[in-house]
Chains A and B, each alone.
Chain A
Amino acid sequence: MSETRNVIIAILVVNLLAFGGIIYETGYFEEGDIDTSTIVTANIILKYKNLGENHTKMFNDTTTSEATAYGLLIASSENSYSVTSSTHSVYGLYITSIDGWGDCSNCESEEGYFWTYSVNDESGDVAANRKVINDNDVVEWLYTDEY
C-alpha cells in the first residue's frame, strides 16, 4: 500500500510540474486584461510581396473601436476586402488570409507565404488582437515568405 501511495505521489508531482509549466507557457497570452476599447483613428497598409514590392493598398484615417492591429484590420476591411483568421494553441490569433490571399492551400506560387504585421515599422511581437495601437499609428500587413 505504501508503494501505491508513493506511486500516486510521484504521478501527482510530475503532473503538477508539467501542468504548471503548460499554464505558465500558455498564460503568456492572458497577462491580465488589455484595454482595447478606445476609439482610435489610424492608417493601415496592405502589402503583397508575392505581387511585387510596390503592390500596396492603403487605407488612411480608419477609425476602430477596438484599438488593436487586428481591430484596425477588421475596421478597414468593411466593403474593401475579406479577412479570415484562426487561433493557434501557443501564439493565439493569427491571420490566415486578407483580400483572398492566404486561402489557397494548393497554390504552389503562394507556398510558404504568410501574413505578418508591424506597427510604426516595428514587427508585431504579440498576437494582432493584443497589440494596442494609438491615433495616427501606421499598421502594415505584409504578405511575405521571408522570416
Chain B
Amino acid sequence: MDVLGEGLLEALRLLLTGDEDTWAITALTLRVSLGAVLIAVLLGVPVGSLIGLRRFRGRRMLHAVANTGMGMPPVVVGLFVTVLLWRSGPLGSLGLLYTPTAMVLAQAVIATPIVIALTAAALQQVDPDFVLQMRGLGATRLRALGALFMEARLPLLAAGTAAFGAVVSEVGAAQMVGGNIAGETRVLTTAAVLATSRGQFALAIAFGLVLLLIAFAVNLVITVAQHRQTVDR
C-alpha cells in the first residue's frame, strides 16, 4: 500500500511540475499513435466501405480477415515489421528500424483491421435502402455517399477511437520496432514497462496516469457526441 500511495503522490508531483521527459514521451506517444490511426483511416475506411456496401468476390474472406486482424497480438505485428525492416530484411535498406516511423508503421498495421471491420459494421447498420432513397431524392452518387457517412458518423467515430485506443495502449510492437530508445522512440507504454522493471514505481505510475488521461479524453469526445445524438423518447 505504501509503495502505491507514495508512488501516486510522486507521480502527481512529476506531472504537475511539468517533468520534461514525461511530456516529451507523451508527445511522441500521441504523434506515433495518431499518425498510425491516420494511416489506418485512410486505408481502412475505403476498404471497410467496400465490404459494407458492395458485393464482390472475396468480400467475405476480406471481412473475415479484418475481423481476425482486430484481435491480432501486437507482439506478432511487431515481430513481422521487425523482420521486414531488419538490416538484412526486405526493407532493411530504408534504415527505419528503431525509429518513430517504424512504430507508426507497426501500429498502423494493428489499427487498420480495426478500422476496416468497424467501418463495415457502421455502414451495414444503416438502412440498406438509405443510399437508394437519397439517390431517389436527386442526390448524385457522391452526395448520397456523403449522406451515408453523415448518417453513420457516430459508429465511424467509434471505429477511429477504438483504433486509437488499441494502438496507444499496446506495448509489444512499440517495444520491438522502436527499441525504447530514450528521447527517440520511448513512448508511455514502453517507458512504464522499463520503469517498473527498474523498481521506479512512481515514474511508472505517472506514465500510467497519463495513458489513462488520454484514454479518458478520447472517450469523453465520443460519449459527448453520442449523448448529443440520443433523444428522449
Partners in one complex: no
